[in-house]
Structure 1
Amino acid sequence: MFSLTVADHIMVAHSFQGEAFGPAQRVHGATFVVEAEFRAARLDRANLLVDIAAARVELRRILDAIDYRNLDTVPAFAGQNTSTEFLCLHIHGALAEAVREGRLGESGRGVEAIRVLLRESPLAWAAYEAAI
């Protein structure tokens, strides 16, 4: 299986509901390094898995919708705890849609799976991966 990863980062504010979250129930900030790994069993005719530039542009487009935002006020997240794991799932879904719609270029049509990893710090991160 081949893989290609692009990365970016976001800064958000959010709060969590539930006593299990302790002080994180209050509004707080988070900075995430976001890695999107695209996987495929084969390369295209040009020996590419996906166009890196197209993948970076699409990842940035998705992240722009939440970067420098209070996630508590984003309608799509109403009633959700925007945990690191949840954000991985959200970004994965948007990237999978981009692949299905051909927004990653012709080589991107061969992508079979995506793994999204968010790093909260050098000591903690979460990921979600699934087939397209």
Structure 2
Amino acid sequence: MFSVTVRDHMMIAHSFRGEVFGPAQRLHGATFVVDATFRRAELDADGIVVDIGLATEQLKEILGELTYRNLDEEPAFAGMNTTTEVLARTVADRLAERVHAGRLGEGARGLAGLTVTLHESHVAWASYERTL
């Protein structure tokens, strides 16, 4: 299996509901380093997994929809805790929609899957992996 990873970051504000979150129940900020890894069994006709430029561009656009926002106020997240895991799935699903729409190029239609990892810090991160 071949893979290519692109990286960007986002800065958000949010709060959590539930005693398990302790002080994070209060509004707080978070900065995430975000990795998107694209996978396929065989390279496309151009000898690549995915166009790195297009993948980088699409990841940046998706993160731009989230960064500098209080996610507690975003309708897409109404009634849910925007944990690192939930945000990883959100970014992965939005990237998958763009792959299927052809926004990562026609060759990307042959991708087998992708994994999105959000790094909360140098010692903690969460990922969501999905097929395409």
User: TM-score band (shorter)?
Assistant: over 0.9
Whether 2:88 is the aligned partner of 1:84: answer no
State the SS of the aligned residue for 1:129.
strand
AA partner of residue 24 (structure 1): A
Whether 2:58 is the aligned partner of 1:58: answer yes
Structure 1 unpaired stretches of 5+: none
Give the RMSD, CA atoms, in angstroms.
Answer: 0.6
State the SS of the aligned residue for 1:58.
helix
Structure 2 unpaired stretches of 5+: none
Deviations 1:61-97 (A, max 9, x none): 1111100111101110011100000000101100111
AA partner of residue 72 (structure 2): D
State the SS of the aligned residue for 1:85.
helix
AA partner of residue 75 (structure 1): P
Q: TM-score, normalised by structure 2?
A: 0.98
Please identify, of 122-131 and 105-114, the stretch whose mean Cα deviation from structure 2 is larger: 105-114
> Matched residues in 1 for 2:8 and 2:38: separation?
15
Q: Name the counterpart of 1:6.
A: 6
Q: Name the counterpart of 2:127.
A: 127
AA partner of residue 70 (structure 1): N
Q: Name the counterpart of 1:47.
A: 47
What pairs up with 1:92-103 in 2 under 5 angstroms?
92-103=92-103
Q: Name the counterpart of 2:115.
A: 115
Shift in Å at residue 59 of structure 1?
A: 0.5
Shift in Å at residue 106 of structure 1?
A: 1.8
State the SS of the aligned residue for 2:110.
coil
Shift in Å at residue 5 of structure 1?
A: 0.3
Q: Name the counterpart of 2:75.
A: 75
State the SS of the aligned residue for 1:109.
helix
What is the count of residue pairs matched by the alignment? 132
Deviations 1:35-63 (A, max 9, x none): 00000001111101100010011101111
